[in-house]
């Protein structure tokens, strides 16, 4: 077995490679989102972690930070391809405000796994995604309707809201309704340009652009079965379909501990000076948020 594949599987708690079946896909997906956190720590530290799938997979195998959406799904696609799954990619436009729903910006890489038909999904196309931060523990069938995973409801369809008419659905294009109470609202998936150059340009803007939302505060998330675990700034949240436990991390030790112990963010490369500067920025951001009424 390839050493990177072996290291990757070990990182996500699997002693052997699952077969390229629906069940194998579900096992791999749950293992990745449960053990490898989505995070923007390297972006906040002005680190230039590569976005290409091979480099992202190498970081997963080495036990270091993988990163955010493009990097997470790049790594997962790399692993799935080497384990025999049929993978294709799509352009994703994530939106949080209704006025942004019809935008065309590439801000998410979408993975489609094909050739795995079931009674409920005769087309055999599945949406695998390790890059949402808060999202689905198992891949969703690309079948129009509501899909339950661990008590959470996720919607796939031709459209949601006032602009839904005429939208396609299927393995080439669809719309997505996010889980209730999430930070984002939905996504529009198409076959717009999502090649390597487009991803590299979007990654540069999101990771280094002064106006990027990924540079405002530390965010780390992982999906632990029905538990959506998040540290956002100084706020630690554990959300389930029926509950939301949220608390402020008022001390440096609690904040760092939540990132490392609960969110499982690797931090061996972060210096004491970097931690101090990041904690000061986090406190300042939190104070400004509170003064604005915690909107």
Annotated catalytic residues are 69, 108, 129
Direct distance between the N- and C-terminal alpha carbons of the chain, in angstroms, rounded to an integer: 50
In order of 29, 70, 146, 166, 219, the CA distances from 2 in angstroms are: 20, 23, 38, 45, 32
Across 180-199, b (16+ Cβ under 10 Å) vs e yields eebebbbbbbbeeebeeeeb
Angle at 46 between CA 11 and CA 66, to 5 degrees: 15
**What's the residue count for the chain?**
295
Instruction: Quickly list DSSP for 1-33.
Output: --HHHHHHHHHTT-SSPPPSSHHHHHHHHHHHH
Residue carrying structure tokens 């939190």: 286
Distance, in Å, from the CA atom of 129 to the CA atom of 116, rounded to the nearest integer, reads 16
Measuring CA to CA, which residue among 220, 286, 224, 294 is closest to residue 249? 286
Q: 115 CB contacts (<8 Å, ≥6 apart)?
A: 85, 86, 124
């Amino acid at each position: 077995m390839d050493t990177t594949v072996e290291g990757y599987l070990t990182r996500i708690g699997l002693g052997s490679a699952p077969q390229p079946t629906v069940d194998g896909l579900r096992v791999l997906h749950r293992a990745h989102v449960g053990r490898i956190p989505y995070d923007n720590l390297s972006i906040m530290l002005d680190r230039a972690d590569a976005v290409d799938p091979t480099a992202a997979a190498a970081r997963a195998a080495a036990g270091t930070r993988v990163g955010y959406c493009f990097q997470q799904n790049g790594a997962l696609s790399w692993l799935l391809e080497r384990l025999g799954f049929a993978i294709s990619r799509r352009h994703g436009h994530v939106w949080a405000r209704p006025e942004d729903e019809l935008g065309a910006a590439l801000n998410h890489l979408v993975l489609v796994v094909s050739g795995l038909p079931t009674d409920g999904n005769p087309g055999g196309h599945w949406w695998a995604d390790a890059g949402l931060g808060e999202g689905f523990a198992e891949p969703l069938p690309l079948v129009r309707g509501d899909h339950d995973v661990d008590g959470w409801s996720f919607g796939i369809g031709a459209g949601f809201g006032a602009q839904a008419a005429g939208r396609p659905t299927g393995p080439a294009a669809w719309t997505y309704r996010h889980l209730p109470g999430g930070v984002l609202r939905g996504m529009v998936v198409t076959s717009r340009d999502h090649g390597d150059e487009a991803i590299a340009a979007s990654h540069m803007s999101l990771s280094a652009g002064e106006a990027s939302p990924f540079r405002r505060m530390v965010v780390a998330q992982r999906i632990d079965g029905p538990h959506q675990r998040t540290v956002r700034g100084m706020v630690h949240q554990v959300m389930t379909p029926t509950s939301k436990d949220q608390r402020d991390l008022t001390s440096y030790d609690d904040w760092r501990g939540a990132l490392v112990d609960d969110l499982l963010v690797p931090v061996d490369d972060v210096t004491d000076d970097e931690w101090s500067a990041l904690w000061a920025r986090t406190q300042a951001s939190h104070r400004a948020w509170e003064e604005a009424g915690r909107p």
